[in-house]
Amino acid sequence: MRNKLPVKGIFLDRDGTIIEDRGHLKSIEDVHFYPDTFESLRALQKEFILFIVTNQSGVSKGIIKKEDADRINSFINSRLLEKGIKIAEIYTCYHQKSDNCECIKPKSFFPKIAAAEFGISLQESWSAGDHLHDVDFGYNFGGRGVYLLTGHGAKHFEELKNSEEKLYFKSSPFKNLKDASSYILQESKNIPKEYITAQTAAEIIRDGGIVGIPTETVYGLASDALNETAVLKIFEAKKRPHFDPLIVHGSSIDNLRPLIKEFPKKAELLAKKFWPGPLTLVLPRTSIVPDIVTAGLETVAVRVPSHPVARKIIELSGLNVAAPSANPFGEISPTCASHVLSQLGDKIDGIVDGGKASVGIESTIIGCVNNEYVLLRPGGISREDIEEITGKLLINDNSELITAPGTMKRHYSPNTNMILQNHTDPLPEDFQDYKKVGRLTYGSTFYNDCEIELNLSPAGDLKDAAVNLYHYMRKLDKMNLELIIADRVPQSGLGAGINDRLSRAASRD
C-alpha cells in the first residue's frame, strides 16, 4: 500500500541504561544487564523500532580498542535476540568531545541516518539515557528525551535540575528503564496521517505529486523539477509568484550536470568543497529545464543537500527535485515537520519527518555567470569561506531584479509587526503605545523591557542562533503580540544570513 506511514524509533543509550555502567568494557564477562531491561525493551518494540546509540570515548583515549567496543556491542545484540528483542542497529561513536566529530551525542548524526534507512519519523521518536546529553539528544533530532537515574543518572541529578529550561525537560527523571518505557508508551501519539516514508515520497514525486521533505537548511516542498505540471502545483500550494525562481536539488554534482550548460572552474571548486551542503549555485541552464522553474531566466539555481533523508528521497526518485521552502509564500520558513503540517498539510501529498533542520536558515546563493561571482543571498555558508575560492565576491545591488529565490525585499515574515534594530539602540519612540511587545535578542545582554524575551543564543553562538531563528520567530508570532523588536546579530560568518532574514522579515515594502 503506497501511503504507508513511517514508524517511530527509540534511541537507547548503552552503558547505564541497558547494561550497568562499569567503565570502558573489554570483556563480555563485565556485561551485566539491568533486571528490567528485557521486559522494558519487549514492551517498547511493540510500538518502536529499537536502536542503541553509544559514545565509546575510550577508543579515542586509547583505553580500549575499537574491536573491544564492537565485541561488547555484538554480545549485547545476540543476548537481546535470545530474549526476543530485535535491535535494528547499534550506532557507535568512537570519539571524545575534543575530536569535534559529527557523530557524538547529543549531535543528531545517527538518528538522521536511521530516518533515511528505516523510514523513522524523528518527531515521533524518543531518546533515553542516564546523561544530560541523552536527553538533549532527543530534542536535537526533533523528538523527545527521557532521563534515567540508573548508571550516572543519580550523580548528575542536581545538574539536571539546574538545566531543565535548556533541555526542554518535560518529565521527572525515572528510577529505571521500566518506568521510563511505561511513560514513553503512554505519551506517544499516533503519527499524523500526512506523514509518509522516504520511499513513498519518492513514488509520489515520480507520479507528479508534491511532498514536504527535510533538508539541513529548512523543510522544502519537492516535485519533479522537469515536470512542469508538478512544479505548477508547488506555486499553487505556496501561492508563490511565478517571477520567483526555484532551487533544483540533486543527489550529486553528476546528477545535476544535465541541467547545467556551463560549469565555470571556480563554481565547480565551490561545489566540490561545499556540496553536499547549504550552498546554491546559479549557473547557465540547458534547454531541458522548464521556464517555470527558472522564472524564464537563462540560469538555474542548483544545490546538493546534506540531509541524508533528502538525498535518500532524491536517489529513490531517480530525479532532480525543485524544492522551495515548504510554507506559504513570504511567511516564516519551516524547520520541522510540524511546521509544514500546520501550514500546508491539507494542500500537499505528504510530509517526510526528518527531525529539526540542523542549519536553520536557507542556503547561501552565489551567481556564477560570465566569470563573475555574485553574492545573491547570504545563508548557511559564510561569505568569508566562499571568498577563499572565488576571491572577493560582487554584491547584487539591483533589488528590483529577482535573479535568485528568497531575495524579495519582504520575505520570511511573521504576521506580527516586526522592527529590526541594533541592541544598543533606544526603544522606538512609540514603544509605550504597544500593550504587548516581544523581543528577539542575542548574546549575554538581557533587557527586561518587554513582556516576552527570547534569546537566539545567550552564549553568542551564531550556529545556535541560526538554528533557533525561525523557531523563535514562530513562537513570538503565536503570542498575540502587537510588536516584535528584533536585535541584529554580529555580521560576520552566519550572522550575515541571519541579519538578511531579519531585515526581510521586518521590511514593510
Q: How far is CA 354 from CA 108, 119, 128, 463, in A?
A: 11, 9, 19, 19
pLDDT for position 4: 62
Alpha-carbon distance of 456 to 189, in angstroms, equals 29
Q: How far is Cα 31 from Cα 53, in angstroms, rounded to an integer?
A: 17
| Residue 110 in grid coordinates | 545517527
Query: What's the confidence (pLDDT) of residue 398?
Result: 60
Looking at residue 489, its pLDDT comes to: 96
Residue ranges in 329-488 assigned as alpha helix (H) = 337-344, 383-390, 462-477
Neighbouring CB atoms inside 10 A of 436's CB total 13
DSSP 431: G
What pLDDT was estimated at residue 162? Answer: 47
Q: Contact 17/54 with Cβ under 8 angstroms?
A: no
Q: Among candidates 223, 243, 219, which has minimal Cα distance to 233?
A: 223
Q: What is the DSSP letter of 4?
A: P
Q: Reduced to 3 states, what is the DSSP secondary structure of residue 462?
A: helix
CA 20 centroid distance within chain = 33
Per-residue tens of pLDDT for the chain, all 509 residues: 344 667 899 999 999 999 999 999 999 999 999 999 999 999 999 999 999 999 999 999 999 999 999 999 999 999 999 999 999 999 999 999 999 999 999 999 999 999 999 999 998 999 999 998 898 899 888 888 899 999 998 887 766 554 433 333 445 789 999 999 999 999 887 788 899 989 999 999 999 999 999 999 999 999 999 999 999 999 999 999 999 999 999 999 999 999 999 999 999 999 999 999 999 999 999 999 999 999 999 999 999 999 999 999 999 999 999 999 999 998 999 999 999 999 999 999 999 999 899 999 999 999 998 889 999 999 999 999 999 999 999 987 665 566 777 777 778 889 999 999 998 888 888 888 888 999 999 998 777 778 889 999 999 999 999 999 999 999 999 999 999 999 999 999 999 999 999 999 998 76
Question: What integer pLDDT is reported at residue 280 of this predicted model?
Answer: 98
Give the per-residue SS3 of 275-331.
Answer: CCCCEEEEEEECCCCCHHHHCCCCEEEEECCCCHHHHHHHHHHCCCEECCECCCCCE
Angle at the Cα of 377 from the Cα atoms of 415 and 247, rounded to 5 degrees: 85
Give the largest CA-CA distance in the chain.
72
The model's pTM is: 0.84
The count of C-alpha atoms lying within 13 angstroms of the C-alpha of 416, restricted to the half-sphere facing its C-beta, is: 24
Written as nine digits, the cell of 482 is 502587537
Residue position matching grid coordinates 565576491: 393
Q: Are 40 and 237 in contact (CB under 8 A)?
A: no
The domains found in the chain, sorted by start residue, are 8-187 (3.40.50.1000), 198-395 (3.90.870.10), 418-506 (3.40.50.11030)
Q: Residue 245: what pLDDT?
A: 95
Give the torsion sign (CA, 192, 17, 168, 332).
negative
